[in-house]
Structure 1
Amino acid sequence: MLHGIKTNILTAGTRAIAALASGVIGLIVTADDADAAAFPLDTPVLVTDLRAALAKAGTSGTMKPSLEAIYDQTSPILIVVRVAEDDLDQDTAVIGDAGTYTGLYALLAAESVCGVRPRVLGAPGLDTQTVTTALVTVAQKLRGMIYAAGIGDTIADVVLYRANFSARELMLIWPNWSNGFAGDAVARALGLRARIDEETGWHKSISNVAVNGVTGISQSLFFDIQDETTDVSTLNDAEVTALVRSPAGGFIYWGNRTCSDEPLFAFEPAVRTSQILQDEIAQGLVWASDKPLTKFLIKDVLETINARIRSLVVQGRLIGGKAWFDPALNADADLAAGKLVIDYEFTPAAPLEGLTLNQRITDKYYADLAAELAA
């Protein structure tokens, strides 16, 4: 028996919820002459040094131009999956097999293989309708966002193409940058998204941010920031992000909309806010699993969530939110069985998509002029 003082170290109380790496790119590419040891087929490869990866990317296929377009924007963490070039059935090679995690399904194995989860997804130059449809399934499982090409030669074609999708995880982009390969607009969107996440945050859309390395647009579009009847407005109305020359100079993406069939997730930032908040809170509460289910634990869980929400509100990433315990959803029998339900709500920061300025012409300031002249 101890004759003295024993100290027990208690771990009750709230925990800080850590921020996630939200800008990790998941990139599907082809490159038959790439370094096969560095980029084996159908395998998720972690890239932390983009310049070093470019040296091993070869010159064929989509890998090198995709990496170059991304590098023009930033040097992020990437998960690169190289798939075989197949002139007869490229879509099948890109999509791969869900059961064996080949093709784009290799992104699902990235976290277990590489230790990070890709959340900004794309297959520049390879994103046919079939490929994009399959990529939506992967994005939903990863809680990631896809940037893909709108397919069509005309605005009418692209608007019709947009009608094929209803996923909140998808943003379509049209046309292409004139100085790049077929997937240049998508690849640069991936890089820009990663850059914005790093510099500003996941709550800011890719719209109206200068794109590096661009000299022109592949198709002429009429754009006027004060006109609702332009080509760009037509595309935006159809939830397609357009490429434009900025009124402030340079080139930008113009559009905030996803392909969601749910109006609450119409904006890209709303989707990404939901995804990031979901994963941050879930991962931030791992410590609570298997602890004794007492009122103290419930209070700690609630305060952990609410503390994170308050922090995001202060940062300007959320407008507001809160978590609470609803007795109606927590029957005595469920609590006794170790089951707890916590509700939380949030309001994402919507992008300022429409600004109305009321201009009035008046002669009232002549009164001031007369008074000044008389002085």
Structure 2
Amino acid sequence: MPHGLTLTESTSGARSLATSSMAVIGIIATASAAAGVATTALNAAFPLGTPVLITNIAEAIGKAGTGGTLLPTLEAIADQVTPVLVVLRVEEGEDDTETSTNVIGAMPTLIAAKSAVGVRPRILGAPGLDTATVTAQLAIAAKRLRGRAYARAIGESDAEVITYRESYSARELTLIWPNTSPTFIGDATARALGLRARIDEETGWHKTISNVALDGVTATIRNIAFDLLDSSTEAGTLNDADIVTIIREFGGFRFWGNTTCAGDDHSEYRFESAVRTLHALQDIVIEAFGPSFDKPMTVALVKDLLESCNMKFKDLATDGWIMGAKVELAATGNTSAELAAGRPKFALRFTPCAPFENPTVDFAITEEFYSDFASQVAA
């Protein structure tokens, strides 16, 4: 017999599952540069219609040209985080309508970007190009990618942006107003993309973008009235309409609001964190189930799959990312015929962590703190 350590590998049993990265940003942008060498460098770095993987944003900024939306978008994101990005450059049209058509035409390429660059963008935006028609398509792309789209709420007043928000009913969409730059209309949106990625990396996908300090912001194009004890202020009114706004409180500028554009029929996904949690748990199920596809379906295989998922869910609950989750074989629908056809049915129940959004503190005048007054004086 050999004298030493023998290592073996087994592919059976429950597997340890990783927490997927949802922090990859995907942007669609325009860019231009001066004629000659600058244009050549821009075209080489960001060829039209081709998804480009960016892992060094500082280097990308130096190649992003001087015109269009790409440069200010990258700069705003870089103020928040050093991310992994997928950049899809489109041609600027003769007018906004033509540019929007170009952006929308690029959406399928962004959705399929993983096959070209190896990563799936999960935080989506087209800062400065997000017209109403583009935003509607961004929401669809986010649904396809199990991601989150951020876009500006278009309007010059509370009433206008609230009316604008009523055009959407996508749980994967967050609308933001007002803007943070007088020169680039996509500045606030770009900063939301960067902040979402930063929160994913530093805290987790279970935290919304609300009430986290924004870097690089010195003003907004409109000052939003805010009072933590008065929900009828402008900030409260916008939040009630499911618009994330920007306030200057607690030592700086920060987004304020946790909600999505989910319609009344998806009220359980009103919070951004609930949607992100859903997508994260879907990733876990995909990671667990994917390698087992087309294997012989045995009791042991199904038990291993369930154990792999539920172990991960317990870890997430222990770490405070979810309140709890469990997947099991569905109580109904698993007939002998369905199982023999390779179509088992599973049921997954989960409880996301709700944001600490609206606590109540009851104030009451009492005499109790005078109860030992005399003894304290005598002492």
CA contact (8 A) 1:18 1:284 kept: no
Alignment of 1:264-283 (within 5 A): 264-283=268-287
1:195 matched to 2:204? The reply is no
| Counterpart in the other structure of 1:61 | 68
1:362 CA displacement: 2.1
Relative to structure 1, the CA distance from residue 326 to residue 26 in structure 2 (aligned partners, 3 Å threshold; closer, same or farther) is same
Q: Aligned to 2:92, which of 81, 85, 99?
A: 85
Alignment of 1:39-78 (within 5 A): 39-78=46-85
1:294 CA displacement: 1.2
1:13 matched to 2:17? The reply is no
Identity of aligned residues (%): 49
1:121 matched to 2:124? The reply is yes
1:284 CA displacement: 2.4
1:229 CA displacement: 1.1
| Counterpart in the other structure of 1:29 | 29
The one-letter code matched in structure 2 to 1:15 is R
CA distance in 2, matches of 1:92, 1:8: 56
1:314 matched to 2:318? The reply is yes
Relative to structure 1, the CA distance from residue 127 to residue 176 in structure 2 (aligned partners, 3 Å threshold; closer, same or farther) is same
Cα deviation, 1:94-134, whole Å, max 9, x if unaligned, reads 111xxxxxx23221121000100000000101101010011
CA distance in 2, matches of 1:241, 1:55: 31
Q: Aligned to 1:340, which of 341, 344, 367?
A: 344
Cα deviation, 1:332-368, whole Å, max 9, x if unaligned, reads 1111122211211110001011011111122321222
CA distance in 1, matches of 2:130, 2:147: 16
Alignment of 1:1-375 (within 5 A): 10-33=10-33, 35-88=42-95, 89-96=98-105, 103-178=106-181, 181-246=184-249, 248-261=250-263, 262-375=266-379
RMSD over aligned CA atoms reads: 1.4
The one-letter code matched in structure 2 to 1:300 is D
CA contact (8 A) 2:76 2:194 kept: yes
For residue 324 of structure 1, give the secondary structure of its aligned residue in structure 2: strand
CA distance in 2, matches of 1:61, 1:176: 18
The one-letter code matched in structure 1 to 2:150 is Y
The one-letter code matched in structure 2 to 1:357 is V
1:257 CA displacement: 0.4
CA distance in 2, matches of 1:94, 1:310: 41
CA distance in 2, matches of 1:217, 1:249: 15
1:212 CA displacement: 0.0
CA distance in 1, matches of 2:148, 2:9: 42
CA distance in 1, matches of 2:294, 2:245: 49
1:10 CA displacement: 4.6
The one-letter code matched in structure 1 to 2:270 is A
The one-letter code matched in structure 2 to 1:86 is G
For residue 68 of structure 2, give the secondary structure of its aligned residue in structure 1: coil
1:264 CA displacement: 0.6
Deviates more, 1:159-168 or 1:314-323: 314-323
Deviates more, 1:136-145 or 1:356-365: 356-365
Q: Which runs of 5+ in 2 are unaligned?
A: 1-6, 34-38
Deviates more, 1:11-20 or 1:172-181: 172-181
Say how many residue pairs are matched: 362
1:369 CA displacement: 2.7
| Counterpart in the other structure of 2:3 | none
1:280 CA displacement: 2.2
Q: Which runs of 5+ in 1 are unaligned?
A: 1-6, 97-102
CA contact (8 A) 1:39 1:81 kept: yes
Cα deviation, 1:201-227, whole Å, max 9, x if unaligned, reads 000000000000000111122111110
CA contact (8 A) 2:288 2:305 kept: no
Relative to structure 1, the CA distance from residue 354 to residue 335 in structure 2 (aligned partners, 3 Å threshold; closer, same or farther) is same
For residue 37 of structure 1, give the secondary structure of its aligned residue in structure 2: helix
1:12 CA displacement: 1.7
CA contact (8 A) 1:41 1:82 kept: yes
CA distance in 2, matches of 1:193, 1:44: 21
Cα deviation, 1:251-293, whole Å, max 9, x if unaligned, reads 0000000000110100000001101110221122222212221
Relative to structure 1, the CA distance from residue 283 to residue 9 in structure 2 (aligned partners, 3 Å threshold; closer, same or farther) is closer
Q: TM-score, normalised by structure 1?
A: 0.94
Cα deviation, 1:142-164, whole Å, max 9, x if unaligned, reads 11100100000000000000000
